[in-house]
Amino acid sequence: APTSRPVDRAAFDPSVYLVTDTALCGGRDGVLATVRQAVVGGVTAVQLRDPGAATRDLAALGAALLALLRPAGVPLVVDDRVDVALAIDADGAHVGQRDLDPLAARRLLGPGRHLGLSVSTPAEARAAAALAPGTVDLLGVGPVRPTSSKADARAAIGLDGLAAVAAASRAAGGPPCVAIGGLSAPDIPALREAGAVGAAVISAVCGTRDPRAATRALRDAWDAR
| Binding-site annotation, residues | 79-80, 99, 118, 147-150, 182, 202-203
Nearest distance from residue 166's CB to ligand TZP, in Å?
16
Interface residues toward ligand TZP, by CB under 6 A = 19, 142-143, 147, 149-150, 153, 180-183, 201-204
Nearest distance from residue 109's CB to ligand TZP, in Å?
20
Q: Looking at beta carbons only, is 35 or 201 nearer to ligand TZP?
A: 201
Nearest distance from residue 26's CB to ligand TZP, in Å?
15
Distance CA 128, CA 191 (A): 21
Nearest Cα to Cα of residue 94 among 108, 114, 121: 114
Nearest distance from residue 83's CB to ligand TZP, in Å?
20
Angle between helices 211-223 and 28-41 (to 10 degrees): 40
Nearest distance from residue 167's CB to ligand TZP, in Å?
20
Please state whether beta strands 16-19 and 92-95 pair in parallel, antiparallel, or not at all (unpaired). Answer: unpaired
Burial (CB count within 10 angstroms: exposed 0-12, middle 13-18, buried 19+), residue 67: middle
Q: Looking at beta carbons only, is 196 or 204 nearer to ligand TZP?
A: 204
Q: Looking at beta carbons only, is 37 or 70 nearer to ligand TZP?
A: 37
Distance CA 171, CA 17 (A): 24
Distance CA 15, CA 29 (A): 25
Nearest Cα to Cα of residue 80 among 43, 38, 117: 117
Q: Looking at beta carbons only, is 7 or 206 nearer to ligand TZP?
A: 206
Q: Looking at beta carbons only, is 116 or 174 nearer to ligand TZP?
A: 116
Q: Is the separation of the CB atoms in 36 and 68 below 8 Å? A: yes
Q: Is the separation of the CB atoms in 153 and 143 below 8 Å? A: yes
Residues of the binding site for Mg(2+) = 80, 99
Distance CA 20, CA 54 (A): 16
